[in-house]
Each structure stands twice: as C-alpha cells, then as structure tokens.
C-alpha cells in the first residue's frame, strides 16, 4: 500500500492511474479506523481497479473546538490497519495546507434544505465544513466511485446533493452500518466510553429495534414518548434527539404515508460522548 503524504504525491498517483485507465474508488475518513471503515473498502474493492482512502481530521466541520482537540488521532495504527486489510492501494494523509492552502474557511452550500435538519440544526456550520472538504478531496482524488456510511445518513444524503448540484462525475454509494456483536454502531468515539458506559450504550440499538417493531403499529408521538422514557431511565444517558423522518427530505414526520420510506434517527450523550445512530424502518 502506498502512503501519499501530500497533494503532489497524490496527484502523481492519480495521474498514473488515469493514464492506465484504472477506475478509482474512494472512501474518505477522519482516521481512528475501525471495522466500520473497513466495510467501506470492501464495497469499493468490488467495483474499482484501485481503492484510495484518506485520513484527515477536518477542522472546518467541528463547531466545538474541544471536540476537534479531543478527536482521536492514531495515524500510524490506522496505516497498519489499512495495510493489514489488504483492501486499499493508497492512503492519502494530507496536511491542513494541502486541503486549505489559502484560509481555513468553509464554502457556503445549499443542500436543498437537508443541511438544516438534525445534525445541521445541532451543529451550525457542520455541513458547510463537510461539503468543503469533500469537494476538495474529490477534486484532488478524482474518484469514479465514492463510499460513505449510512451511520452518518444525513451526511450521505448531503454528499449526494453536493454531487447533484455541482454536477460532479463521481457516483456515490451508501454502505450499511457496521455494528459490534451486541448491536452498538462502530464509531471512533466508542473508544472514549468507560466500560460501564460502553455496556449501557447497547440500549441505543435495542431501542431502535423496538421502534421498528412499533412502526405502523402505534402513533409516532407515542413511539417518541416511549423512547424518551427508555433513555432517560438510563443512568448517565441523555437523549439529545429522537425523531422519525422521511428518507428523501429528512424532514421529521408525525404521520406515516404508505409509499414513503422512513428512518429513525437518534443522538444520545453517554457521559461526555455523543453517540449517533439510525435505522431504516420496515
């Protein structure tokens, strides 16, 4: 596996690939890699000649400086994990200057209103930061296909909107949430949980499964009440939001319509760790 330490090294790699007509599959990450990330590379491996990943903790998508500072940085371990997986041909590890040569500012985007829901409402400016880094990475990596996890479902929908609005030639693929055996969605943040918090966090997946059972059986306000009750009864856990939304518009709904797809979204603060999860309802 090649390690591309700066933009020049990346551009040489990409230009060689393009000369040889090789298709490029790309999965960007912020590092602290786990098996959820690996599932993106597995998908990419199936349909591309070359698989490129990137590791870059993007400052502009953090609205909370403490969160940015505390974000785990384990680049050497990550590179080892990528190499061991045997799924990745090259990893791009840019500096802040490679991505933001002029200033550390986000561009402002219109993502068809998707940016104002859930994570956008909770974290002002977050999706402008995500859009900016992804647009720049796409310019530099020039992928044919790019892979994003459904774990961050709103982010996936926003990147689809970015590609659509800017008419970029990359195809976006969503990858199912990779969970641990007890159902907890894999996340770089899980390593910040104490053992007790880690065990208690399984309630998130268990609750989402119950929501799926209740879906179309009881009303949405009733489902919300039950979810609030379950989480609030857990010591050290606080429900930041729970809602059911239309998968297209990401707008919260209080009613089900027959021909639409719905998804439950929740964010729970477990001690100081903010955990995010979601589930398609069927």
Active site residues: 37
Under the criterion CB under 6 A, does residue 175 sit at the interface with ligand AMP? yes
Q: What is the spatial order of strands in the sheet that 262-270 belongs to?
A: 237-246, 262-270, 273-281
Q: Across the chain, how many H-helices and E-strands are there?
A: 11, 9
Q: Judge residue 232's burial from the number of C-beta atoms within 10 Å of its C-beta, 0-12 exposed, 13-18 middle, 19 or more buried.
A: exposed
Among 38, 177, 231, 244, binds ligand AMP (CB under 6 A): 177
Among 48, 154, 188, 190, binds ligand AMP (CB under 6 A): 188
Contact range with ligand AMP by CB under 6 A, out of 179-187, 197-205, 209-217, 266-274: 179-187
Contact range with ligand AMP by CB under 6 A, out of 178-186, 214-222, 234-242, 257-265: 178-186
Q: How many residues bind ligand AMP (CB under 6 A)?
A: 17
Q: What is the DSSP letter of 234?
A: S
Is 3 within 8 Å of 122 (Cβ atoms)?
Answer: no
Under the criterion CB under 6 A, does residue 128 sit at the interface with ligand AMP? no
Under the criterion CB under 6 A, does residue 157 sit at the interface with ligand AMP? no
Beta carbon of residue 151, minimum distance to ligand AMP (angstroms, whole number): 4
Q: How many Cβ atoms are within 10 Å of 103's Cβ, its own excluded?
A: 5
Under the criterion CB under 6 A, does residue 192 sit at the interface with ligand AMP? no
Show the tokens assigned to 5.
Answer: 């330490």
d(CA 133, CA 118): 20
Under the criterion CB under 6 A, does residue 129 sit at the interface with ligand AMP? no
Under the criterion CB under 6 A, does residue 134 sit at the interface with ligand AMP? no
Q: Closer to ligand AMP by CB, 79 or 177: give it.
A: 177
Contact range with ligand AMP by CB under 6 A, out of 30-38, 89-97, 214-222, 274-282: 30-38
**Maximum CA extent, the chain:** 59
Q: Judge residue 40's burial from the number of C-beta atoms within 10 Å of its C-beta, 0-12 exposed, 13-18 middle, 19 or more buried.
A: buried
Binding-site ranges for ligand AMP (CB under 6 A): 29-30, 36-37, 39-40, 148-149, 151-152, 175, 177-178, 185-188
């Amino acid at each position: 596996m090649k390690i591309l330490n700066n933009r020049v090294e990346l551009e040489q790699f990409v230009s060689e690939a393009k000369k040889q007509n090789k298709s490029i599959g790309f999965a960007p990450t912020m590092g602290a890699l786990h098996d959820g990330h690996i599932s993106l590379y597995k998908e990419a491996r199936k349909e591309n000649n070359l698989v490129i990943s990137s590791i870059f903790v993007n400052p502009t998508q953090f609205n909370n400086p403490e969160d940015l500072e505390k974000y785990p940085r384990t680049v050497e371990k990550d590179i080892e994990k990528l190499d061991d997986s045997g799924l990745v041909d090259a990893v791009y590890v840019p500096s802040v200057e490679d991505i933001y040569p002029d200033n550390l500012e986000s561009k402002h985007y219109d993502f068809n209103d998707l940016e104002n829901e859930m994570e956008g409402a909770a974290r002002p400016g977050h999706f402008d930061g995500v859009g900016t880094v992804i647009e720049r990475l796409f310019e530099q990596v020039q992928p044919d296909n790019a892979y994003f996890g459904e774990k961050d479902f709103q982010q996936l929908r926003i990147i689809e909107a970015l590609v659509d609005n800017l008419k970029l030639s990359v195809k976006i693929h969503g990858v199912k949430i990779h969970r641990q055996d007890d159902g907890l969605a894999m996340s770089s943040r899980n390593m910040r949980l104490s053992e007790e918090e880690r065990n208690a966090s399984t309630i998130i997946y268990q609750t989402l499964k119950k929501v799926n059972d209740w879906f179309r059986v009881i009303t949405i306000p009733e489902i919300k009440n039950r979810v609030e009750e379950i989480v609030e009864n857990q010591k050290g856990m606080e429900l930041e939001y729970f809602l059911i939304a239309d998968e297209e518009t990401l707008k919260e709904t209080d009613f089900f319509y027959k021909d639409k797809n719905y998804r439950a979204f929740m964010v729970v603060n477990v001690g100081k760790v903010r955990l995010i999860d979601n589930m398609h309802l069927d």
